[in-house]
Structure 1
C-alpha cells in the first residue's frame, strides 16, 4: 500500500487504523490493543518499572508519505506535541516522487567502557592490555553465546590513556557487535565480567564498567531530495539555507535546530519501545564531536530548485530486548513499519529526523513555525478553556478564521457557547 494517502489527516482515528490494519495485516485483537481497548495494564506496567501506580498514555500518530530505500512505510510516532506528525508527513511528501529517503549504516558496534585508576605505569598497562586482547575478548564472548551464535559479540578493543584532574586514567573500550539489539545489557554484563581480569593486567583499580551511549561506530545516514519546495521562490530558498547555516556556526541556534530533529526521532524511538534518553544523549554528543556543537543535518541546492538534505548520527536502537518486545504497542509499531532489522529501523528513524528538520526550516524561512503549530494546538487550548467534546471543532474553526490563538479569547468563545446552551 502506498503511504501517499491524500486527506489522511481528515479521516477519523478508526478509518486511519483500518488503512493500517490492511497494510500491516493487523488482527482485530491487535487493533483493539492500539486503540487502548485491551493489552497494556497496570500489571504490565508493574513488571516494567518500580513503584508503579498506573501508566501515562501518549498519543500514537502515523506519519504518511514516507518511502525509505524504495519501500513505502507508515511510521508510528508517539508524542504529546502538536504539529510534529503533521510536519513530518508534509515534509516526506516532497521526497516521494524523487525516490524518497536513501540510507546507509556503519554497522551495529557499541562501546563498553572500563575505567582504571591507580595505575602506576599507564602506558605500560595500555600495552599489556593489548597483549592480552584475545583472552579478554574470549572472556567477553563467554557471557553471551547466543549473541555470538548470531554473528555478534565482542570483536575488538581500544585502550586510551586519559589525563584526569588528579591522575592519568586508563580506559578500555570493548567493541561489541550487538546485532539487532540495542545491546546495553549484553555489553554491561561483558564489562563487569572482564573488569577483574583487566584490573589484574593493568595493576590498577577498575571503577566504571558500563556501555557508552556515544555510539560512534553505529552511525546511520539518510539522504533525501526535496522537490522544488519553494516553487522557484529564490528568496525563500535563500532564507532556508541561511537558517541552516546559522545552525552550523551558532550553538544557541544549533540546540533548537537539533531539538526539532529529535522531535521526530524521539517520537519513533518511543513508539518502538527503544531508549529515547540514550538516543538523545548520543545524538547531542555526536553533534559536539568537533568540539563545536552544530547541526546534525546538512542542506545543499540540488537540480531544478530542489534541496538535498542529509543527516548523520549514532542510533543505538534494536528490535530485541527491553520494551521493544515487552510492550504490546511497541511490538505492533514495528509490525506496522514492517522492519525486520535494527538497520532498517534506524534508517526509518533517521529519515523522520531529516524530514522534521526540513519542515522546521521551511516554516522558519516563510511565515514562521508558530502559526501552523498554534492552529494544531488550538484544540488543547479549547480543552483547557473548558470546551466540551461537541464544541471543539466549532471553537477551532472560530479561532482559525480569526487568526488569533490567545487563550483568553478562546475562553471567551467557549464561555459564550456555554451560555447559549
Structure 2
C-alpha cells in the first residue's frame, strides 16, 4: 500500500494502519515500534487524521483542586494537563491552591461567536456600497441560507470592511457546543453564493484572513473570537505572603513592568506571563485543535492592589473550543473532558470558564515565583 494514500483510501482498519507503519519503517530504515502501543480502534480517528501509522503519546497530569465560582463551572475541579514541560503542572497547582484558599475564582463568558471572513472582489467603491446595502436589506434570506446548512449554527452578524476593489465580510455564528469552524465555513460559503448571485460580487475565498483563524491578530484581541472569557480572584494579603512568598505590591509592579510595559515594548499581542502554556496543555489533553493556542495566547493579565489584597484577572478574548466533534471523539480526550464534567452537549461555555481559571492559576503562580525570585530554582528542580 502506498504511504500517501490520503483521502482516496483512508484505510482505518488496523491491518491498513499496520501496512502503512511497515512501509514507513522500510522507507526510513528505522524501527518505530514506540508508535504502535495504543488501545483504541483506529477507525475512531477516521475523521481526525489521514495516513495513520500510530500514536504519539504525551504525559498527562492533573492540577488542582481549584474552586471555581462561574456561571456554569461551579465547585471544586481537578484539571487535566498534557505537557512535556517539567514544572508546569506543579506551578499551575500552586496557583490553584492560592485561588482556592482565597475563596475561588469568579469567571464569566461574555461573548460566544465563531467567525469566518470571506473576501469578495467588487468593481469599486460604488459596488461595495451596493453589496453592503443588499446584505443589510436581505437578512431574512441570508438566515434561511444559513439554516439550510446546519441544525446547530445561528447567524449573529455580518460586518463589512471595504478596501478598494476588496470587500471583506467578517461573519459571526453561534455554533452550539462544537468549536464550529467547519460549520462556519460551510454556512459562509452558502452566504457568499447568495451574495454573488444577487450582487455580482465575486467570491475569491471563503477565508480572507480577517476571521482570524490560527494567527495572531488585533481584531481577535479587540473583538474576540470563539469564547471571550474573564476570570478574576482577590487574594488576601496574608495568603500572598504565606503561599507566594511575595507581596501584593511586588506582584503588581512586576505585572505592570513585565506583562504590560514589556509586552508593549516588544510589540506583543499577548500581555501575559505564559498563558499559552496552560492553554496548550489543556487543549491537547481534551482534544482541541492545538493551533488555536495562537488565539489563546492573546491574553491580558491585570493586577491591582485593593486595600492590600492582590486583585488579579485574565481576559481571554479568543478561546476556540468544543465539547463535541473534532478531537473530542478520541477516547483519552473524552476521559479528560469527563474529569471536568465537560463532555457533550451544553458543556462548551462551562469548559470556557475552566480554561480561563486554569490560565489565571498559571499566571498567578508564575508572577509570584518571579516576584520572589524563585522561577529559575523551580525549573532547575522540576524541569531541568
Aligned counterparts of 1:310 and 1:79: Cα–Cα separation in 2: 24
The answer to whether the 8 Å contact 2:146/2:190 transfers is yes
The answer to whether the 8 Å contact 1:157/1:172 transfers is yes
| Cα distance, 1:159 vs structure 2 | 1.9
Question: Per the alignment, in what secondary structure is the counterpart of residue 312 of structure 1?
Answer: strand
The answer to whether the 8 Å contact 2:107/2:231 transfers is yes
Aligned partner of 1:27 in structure 2 is: none
User: Of the candidates 71, 77, 93, which is equivalent to residue 89 of structure 1?
Assistant: 93
> In the superposition, relative to structure 1, how do residues 123 and 250 fare at CA in structure 2: closer, same or farther (>3 Å)?
farther
The answer to whether the 8 Å contact 1:119/1:170 transfers is no
The answer to whether the 8 Å contact 1:108/1:179 transfers is no
Aligned counterparts of 2:196 and 2:150: Cα–Cα separation in 1: 21
The answer to whether the 8 Å contact 1:182/1:316 transfers is yes
The answer to whether the 8 Å contact 1:300/1:308 transfers is yes
Aligned counterparts of 1:173 and 1:354: Cα–Cα separation in 2: 30
Aligned counterparts of 1:256 and 1:272: Cα–Cα separation in 2: 23
Q: Deviations over 1:36-59 (max 9, x none)?
A: 986336665565212223221111
Aligned partner of 1:375 in structure 2 is: 381
Aligned partner of 1:332 in structure 2 is: 335
Higher-Rg structure is: 1
Name the one with the larger helix percent.
Answer: 1
User: 5+ unaligned residues in a row in structure 1: which ranges?
Assistant: 1-35, 288-294, 379-421
Aligned counterparts of 2:63 and 2:376: Cα–Cα separation in 1: 21
Question: Per the alignment, in what secondary structure is the counterpart of residue 63 of structure 2?
Answer: strand
User: Of the candidates 259, 277, 281, which is equivalent to residue 294 of structure 2?
Assistant: 281
The alignment's C-alpha RMSD in Å is: 2.6
Aligned counterparts of 1:51 and 1:90: Cα–Cα separation in 2: 41
Q: Deviations over 1:228-273 (max 9, x none)?
A: 3124999743332222112212323967863611111221111111
Aligned partner of 1:153 in structure 2 is: 154
The answer to whether the 8 Å contact 1:61/1:85 transfers is yes
> In the superposition, relative to structure 1, how do residues 370 and 261 fare at CA in structure 2: closer, same or farther (>3 Å)?
same
TM-score of the two chains, using structure 1 as the length reference: 0.70
Aligned partner of 2:27 in structure 1 is: none
Aligned counterparts of 2:364 and 2:119: Cα–Cα separation in 1: 41
Matches for 1:336-415 after TM superposition, within 5 Å: 336-339=339-342, 341-378=347-384
Aligned partner of 1:299 in structure 2 is: 303
> In the superposition, relative to structure 1, how do residues 180 and 114 fare at CA in structure 2: closer, same or farther (>3 Å)?
same
Aligned partner of 1:194 in structure 2 is: 191
The answer to whether the 8 Å contact 2:68/2:75 transfers is yes
User: Of the candidates 239, 245, 252, which is equivalent to residue 241 of structure 1?
Assistant: 252
User: Of the candidates 53, 68, 77, which is equivalent to residue 73 of structure 1?
Assistant: 77
Aligned counterparts of 1:233 and 1:181: Cα–Cα separation in 2: 38
Number of aligned positions between the proteins: 322
| Cα distance, 1:107 vs structure 2 | 3.7
| Cα distance, 1:328 vs structure 2 | 0.5
The answer on 1:264 being equivalent to 2:264 is no
Question: Per the alignment, in what secondary structure is the counterpart of residue 353 of structure 1?
Answer: helix
| Cα distance, 1:134 vs structure 2 | 1.7
Question: Per the alignment, in what secondary structure is the counterpart of residue 230 of structure 1?
Answer: helix
| Cα distance, 1:78 vs structure 2 | 0.8
Q: Deviations over 1:18-43 (max 9, x none)?
A: xxxxxxxxxxxxxxxxxx98633666
TM-score of the two chains, using structure 2 as the length reference: 0.77
> In the superposition, relative to structure 1, how do residues 180 and 44 fare at CA in structure 2: closer, same or farther (>3 Å)?
closer
Matches for 1:42-121 after TM superposition, within 5 Å: 44=44, 48-69=48-69, 70-120=74-124, 121=127
The answer to whether the 8 Å contact 2:227/2:320 transfers is yes
- Which stretch of the first structure deviates more once superposed, 96-105 or 47-56? 47-56
> In the superposition, relative to structure 1, how do residues 233 and 261 fare at CA in structure 2: closer, same or farther (>3 Å)?
closer
User: 5+ unaligned residues in a row in structure 2: which ranges?
Assistant: 1-35, 214-219
Q: Deviations over 1:297-353 (max 9, x none)?
A: 1111234x43111111121211111011x2111111111112351111011111011
